[in-house]
């Protein structure tokens, strides 16, 4: 188990290709991805990463997910290799999760534990990935509890998904909106809100608690309609308990 000490350190193994991915051997290596993405470095676009150890990120230091706002994206391919990441994060960031804003890549074989808590007074996107855009997510399991105080898009795997595919994913964590009337939200076990998203072979067993002004669902909170007739959302082979 690698415990994050608040620093970032570049990896020393791998070349970033699909057959020879960069090896993420510590929490500091994982933090380096976030630091590079959030600094505007683009050299790691469409490169491959593989996690080799379990990681713990507690509240001692403030984790800033890769793609912490609407201008920065993680655009690589991340293989968790069935490892566990434990994350405790309380913040008012717009994109809240292990990954924040992801686009055009993939995340697979990852298990997330801990708790995500948002106190942002404006809309926030919360999940293992805060927002997934043109993304492929496979074999990911969320055990992390999610709590928000105001308006939010929240899902165990993705708070918001656009033209993305989520397959063989699950949510065991609770999703709770602690404030009531006047604050809307979109809460789903797997995905909070989706536009032209495919969710397949996925399920939710976590509790979802929200105000009556919100949209919620076991698999997805809201299917966002598109103006294009060919844009459809597909949910297949899924269940909620």
Phi, psi torsion values for 17, nearest 5 degrees: -90, 170
Counting every residue written for the chain, the total comes to: 241
* Rounded CA separation 117/108 (Å): 23
Task: Name the residue among 108, 95, 105, 85 with its Cα closest to residue 155.
Answer: 95
Say what the pTM is: 0.94
CA atoms within 13 A on the CB side of 70: 5
CA atoms within 13 A on the CB side of 87: 31
In tens digits, what is the pLDDT along the chain, a chain of 241 residues? Answer: 999 999 999 999 999 999 999 999 999 999 999 999 999 998 899 999 999 999 999 999 999 999 999 999 999 999 999 999 999 999 999 999 999 999 999 999 999 999 999 987 777 999 999 999 999 999 999 999 999 877 789 999 999 999 999 999 999 999 998 765 556 789 999 999 999 999 999 999 999 998 766 789 999 999 987 655 567 899 999 999 9
- Please list, residue by residue across 162-171, b when 16 or more beta carbons sit within 10 angstroms of its beta carbon and e when fewer do: bbbbbbbbbb
Query: Tokens 């509890």 appear where?
Result: 145
């Amino acid at each position: 188990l690698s415990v994050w000490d608040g620093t970032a350190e570049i990896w020393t193994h791998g070349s970033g290709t699909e057959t020879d991915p960069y090896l993420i051997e510590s929490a500091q290596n994982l933090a380096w991805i976030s630091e590079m993405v959030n600094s505007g470095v683009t050299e790691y676009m469409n490169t491959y990463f593989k996690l080799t150890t379990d990681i713990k990120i507690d509240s001692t230091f403030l984790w800033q997910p890769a793609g912490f706002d609407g201008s920065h994206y993680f655009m690589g391919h991340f293989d968790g290799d069935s490892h566990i990441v434990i994350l405790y994060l309380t913040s008012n960031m717009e994109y809240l999760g292990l990954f924040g804003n992801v686009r055009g890549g993939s995340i697979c074989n990852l298990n997330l534990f801990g708790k995500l808590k948002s106190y942002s007074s404006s809309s926030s996107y919360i999940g293992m990935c805060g927002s997934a855009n043109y993304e492929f997510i496979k074999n990911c399991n969320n055990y992390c509890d999610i709590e928000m105080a105001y308006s939010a898009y929240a899902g165990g795997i993705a708070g918001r998904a656009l033209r993305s595919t989520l397959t063989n994913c699950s949510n065991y964590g609770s999703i709770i909106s602690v404030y009531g009337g006047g604050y809307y939200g979109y809460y789903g076990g797997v995905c909070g809100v989706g536009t032209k998203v495919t969710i397949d072979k996925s399920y939710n067993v976590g509790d979802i608690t929200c105000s009556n002004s919100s949209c919620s669902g076991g698999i997805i909170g809201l299917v966002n309609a598109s103006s294009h007739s060919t844009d459809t959302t597909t949910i297949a082979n899924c269940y909620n308990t």
